[in-house]
Every structure is written in C-alpha cells, then in structure tokens.
Amino acid sequence: MNKFKIAFETLEQGFIASVPGLPDCWARGATREEALVKIASAIQEYQEPEIEPTGEAEFREVEVSALSS
C-alpha cells in the first residue's frame, strides 16, 4: 500500500482534492470527506495500466519505495 500527499482546495460548492505527485489526478466532493473518498478511487484508476497487453507485449509490476531524506 502506497501513501500519497493530498492537497485540498476549498470552493464555494465543496472541495477539490489533488495529488501533487500524480499529474491530472484530482477529485471533487461536496465535503472534504467525500473528496477524500473520491481521490482514493482516482488514485487507483490512475495507477491502472492504460492499455492491455496485445500480441507479444508483457506487463510487469514493480514496487517502488520512497527515498529517505
């Protein structure tokens, strides 16, 4: 399980949650909690491969750990 930093922006009609480390990964919710639930789903979708293997193509997974400062 990976952890991501989430940025929240307050709007007149709710909140936007975004992940600075994942370009174009964001979600909107009426409440902060709703935005948090939706961004978790958006992160899962963001991490899924965009294309399915065809022909000879092969996909593999790699686990990446955070760099320590």
Domains identified in the chain and CATH numbers: 7-47 (3.30.160.250)
Residue 56 has what pLDDT?
80
Please report which confidence band the pLDDT of residue 22 belongs to, taking 50, 70 and 90 as the band edges: very high
Residue 43 has what pLDDT?
93
Burial 22-57, CB ≥16 within 10 A → b, else e: eeebbbbbeeeeebeebbeebbeebeeeeeeeeeee
Q: What is the mean pLDDT of the chain?
A: 85
Please determine, for residue 48, whether its predicted confidence score (pLDDT) is greater than 80: no
Please report which confidence band the pLDDT of residue 50 belongs to, taking 50, 70 and 90 as the band edges: low
* Rounded average pLDDT over 49-69: 68
